[in-house]
Amino acid sequence: MSAPQQPVFNQPAGQGKSRMVAGLLNFFLGGIAAGDFYLGHMKIGAIRVAAMILSYVIFAVGGAMESGILAGIGSLLVFVVGLVALACAIMTFMGKWIYEKDANGVPTV
């Protein structure tokens, strides 16, 4: 006769978070890293938000100072932030990189 099973606490649920929801959040709200925050990847989300804010500040300061070079650098940074958001959305839909699992290690579905 075997010992009775003890209940397991803090065990992940049967299904993880939706990869489709995370991908759509990254596609439409990628600048603010909504998909990363949805999956619990707080550090990467915070880095992406900081990069977006910094690029917009550089763009705005360059435009206010009528500095063509600074505004050009800012617009390039805004473009790169947009490309990163698009790349993250594609990786989310495909389930690649950190988007295979959420922050708790539960696979996305």
CB 102 within 8 A of CB 40: yes
Please indicate whether residue 100 or residue 11 has the higher confidence score (pLDDT): 100
* Residue whose entry in the numeric block shows the structure tokens 């990163």: 84
Domain boundaries, the chain: 19-98
Single-letter amino acid, residue 77: L
- pLDDT tens digits for range 51-92: 999 999 998 888 888 777 888 898 899 999 999 999 999 999
Q: What is the pTM of this model?
A: 0.77
- pLDDT tens digits for range 9-57: 555 555 789 999 999 999 999 889 999 999 999 999 999 999 999 999 9
pLDDT of residue 66: 76
Tokens of 91: 């990786």
CB 108 within 8 A of CB 102: yes
106 burial class (0-12, 13-18, 19+ CB within 10 angstroms)? middle
Please indicate whether residue 6 or residue 61 has the higher confidence score (pLDDT): 61
